[in-house]
Structures are given as C-alpha cells and as structure tokens.
Amino acid sequence: MVAVWSVIAALFTVTFGSAASASAHPIGATGVFVTVHSDAVDVEVQIPLDKLSDALDAEIDDEGSIRSSAAELSSYFSENVLVSDERGAVPVTVGELEYGVVNDEPALVVELQATPLDRQIYGEVVLDYTAGADLPGHAVYVALVSDWENGHVVEGEPVDVAILTGDQTRVRLDRSDASWVTGTTSTILLGMQHIAEGTDHMLFLITLMLVAPLIASRGAGGARGRSWTGIRKPWPTVGRAALIVLSFTLGHTVTLALVSFGWMSFPTTPVEILVGVSIIVAGIHATKPLIPRGEIPLAGIFGLVHGAAFATTILDLQLNLGATIAAVLGFNIGVELAQLALVALILPLFILLVRTPAYVWVRTVLALVSVVFSIGWIVGIATDSDSVFTPMFEVVAAYPFAFYAVLVAGCVALWSFTKTWSPKDPSALSG
C-alpha cells in the first residue's frame, strides 16, 4: 500500500506513453532547432566558432569578433538557411547573433525567422541548410522543438529529425496532418502525459482521496473537524471525489491560463517547494481534519500552486492567441481525464477497505508516507539534487502492472480478512 501512488504513476506513464526520446547534438557538431507556427517558422542555429571560422575562412573566436562581423554573418546565414513550404519560398529574416557556450565549446547562436507574406504556413516545410555543412567531418543535427498544428508538442529536449552533411543538406517536415484538431488532440494527450509523469501531482490527489469516503466528527459546539469517524456510502463517496477533482482542476486551470497567455509568471523553485508543502498539508488533513470539508478547498487552493508548476508547458509552445486558447482547453481536458482515470483506479480500493478496521492504518500509513516523500522532494529541490526516494520510484516504474496487481490483491486480501467488521453507529454510513 505504501507505494500505491508510485505504482499509479508508473502505470499511467506506460499506458499513455512518455515523452519521445531526444538527444542533444554531440560536441563539435552544429545544432539547428526548428519551431513551426501557423504563420512562421523559427530556426535557431548553434554552430561552434571553430567550424564557423573554417566555413567563412575568417577568425571568429570571441564575442568581439562576432559583433564586428555582424553584417557579414547575417548575410552568410540569410544565404545558407532557406525555408519553403508547399506554396513556395518563405522569406527568412536573421535576428540576434549572440556568443554562447554549447557543449562546453564557444559557439555562435543565431536566431532566424521565416515568415510568409500575407498568408499562413501551408503543408510540408522544407529547410535547406548549408552553413558549414560541407566541412569535412562536420555534421549538422536538426531537431524539431514543436509544431502544435501537426501534433508535435513533446516536453523536454527537442527531437532529432535529421543529420545533414555536405551530401545531404535538405530536411522535409511532413505536415500532412496539420490542423487545429490535431493540435488540440495533441495537447489533450500532453495533459494526460503530464499527470502520468507528475508523481507529485498524483500523490497530492491520492492523499486527498483518502478522506473522500470519510465524514469528520462533530466537535464541541457542533463544529466539525475533530476526527474522521463517519463513513460515506459508495455513491456519495464518488460524488465527494468528483468535487475534489473539480476543485483541483479549477485551481490549476487559473494559473495555467495566466501563464500561458503571458499575463503572469512564477519562480520555479518556490513553486516546486510549495507543491511539496501541499502534499504535506494533504497528508496532515488525511490524518486529522484541518477544516470542515477541508479536502475541497485544499484541492482548489493548492491547485493554483500545482498549475503554476506546469504552467510553462503551453507557453513554451509559443503559439498565437487562437492556438493558445485551444491548447489550454485541450491540456486541461487531458489533465482532467488523467485525474479521473487515476481516481477510477484508486478510489474503489479505498471504498473497499473503509469499512474494515484496517483502513485507519492504511490511511495513516499512506498519509505519513506522503509527508515523508514530500520532505524528500523538498530537500532535493532545495539542494538541486534528486530525491533520496528516486531509486524506489524507478524500480516501481519498471514493473507498473505487476505492482498494481499486487496492490489490488493485497487490498482484496486485507478486506477479506476483516470484512466482518461493521461500524457501531449505523448513522455513520449515511452520505
């Protein structure tokens, strides 16, 4: 039971799929990163200075020489980076030319944008790249960052799509499926994947689910919140779980929208620490009620924090207004579907056990484990290192279905041994 949340995380990852594998370009190679929008194609070039010097037959070795050669460099890249689509050539504008360090080597980072005149990007995108590609032994790695309309919204590192050399300098990006339907569907799947791989988000939700089948006792003066003693019937439990999920969704929708539209930004480290704090609070509430029906407002309030934690997902796609609206809606639909699937997997086990004397121990242990794991996360974030529990997560992730099967079997066995117990107060079963 202690590893339930890790099991579900791994199960979701395998079921819905993880991010596509990607690799950074190797040392000494040039990296070209392509981002396709509905109305433009962005191209970022990262070329080692020694290769650039060889290609230009000139000494470009520091920031000063880049500045002094800016006009020549702009002309060179405008001639050697060409973009077209199915309707013809797309004019390319050379933007910033900056000195950078890539793969521990000095490099020139060039920003280019191909923008059609009075139209949208249409169909297949073709990149012709010849800057330094003919140098002996030099390779150019082309990677796709994102193409929302064509369904490419992978998080993390860009995905390599081609390796160019002197003999092969053209990359064709098939966009036969490009549409808003494809883009929206891709962000629905991205939202599902984000929850599947976000073990902290799932742990928070599962910890709140621990009390969905319970009713807090009345304290002195009729106040609620002293202890968990009442038990809900199954359908009222499902209703309470739905309210918790809805509250959580509304909370993270707000911050996701604020960041996605560029209206607000949040510092990463404090937000990640607050995510850990939210799980600790949920664990304490699962042990002893903090406020009346507290799981619902806690889900909403900390939903704002969890939304801030993955809010840059849509922003990083660099979409226009219309596409951003569709992407935010799609992402939230995906998150909601994943959360409902998670609840469907875990809530029946809690409903099964809640009428047994074992549930108080199950609830207490899981709540304490949530707190311990969260402390481990917070320490890892504060020290910029992995959690001490990471090896355990990796083991569980390697065998998700087996661990979940063991979990279900354990819950059924536990129920079977203790199912003869029933509450002394029949009214506790009222919803």
For residue 24, what pLDDT band results from cuts at 50, 70 and 90? low
- 3-class DSSP state for residue 383? coil
Tokens of 213: 């089948």
Q: How far apart are the first and last CA of the chain?
A: 26
SS3 call for 227? strand
Rounded Cα–Cα distance for residues 405 and 366 (Å) = 18
Region 142-146 average pLDDT: 92
pLDDT at 140: 93
3-state DSSP of 273-323? HHHHHHHHHHHHHHHCCCCCCCHHHHHHHHHHHHHHHCCHHHHCCCCCHHH
Contacts of 344 (CB under 8 A, 6+ apart): none
Of 159, 154, 161, 142, which Cα lies nearest the Cα of 194? 154
Residue 86 burial (10 A CB sphere; 0-12, 13-18, 19+): exposed
Q: Give the model's pLDDT for residue 422.
A: 53
For residue 123, what is the DSSP state? Answer: S
The token duo for 407 is: 């979990």
- According to DSSP, residue 26 is labeled P
Neighbours of 75 (CB within 10 A): 11
Q: What is the pLDDT of residues 242-272, one digit of tens each?
A: 999 999 999 999 998 898 888 888 888 899 9
pLDDT digits (tens, 9 = 90+) for 293-307: 789 999 999 999 988
User: What is the pTM for the complete model shown?
Assistant: 0.77
DSSP 119: S
Percent of the chain topping pLDDT 90: 50
* Tokens 């086990």 -> residue: 349
Give tens-digit pLDDT for 152-179. Answer: 887 667 889 999 987 889 999 999 888 9
Q: Return left, alpha or beta for 416; rule: phi > 0 is left, psi -120 to 50 is alpha, else beta.
A: alpha
Q: Which two tokens stand for residue 430?
A: 């009222």
How far is Cα 26 from Cα 29, in angstroms, rounded to an integer?
A: 6
Question: Domain ranges in the chain?
Answer: 30-178, 182-429
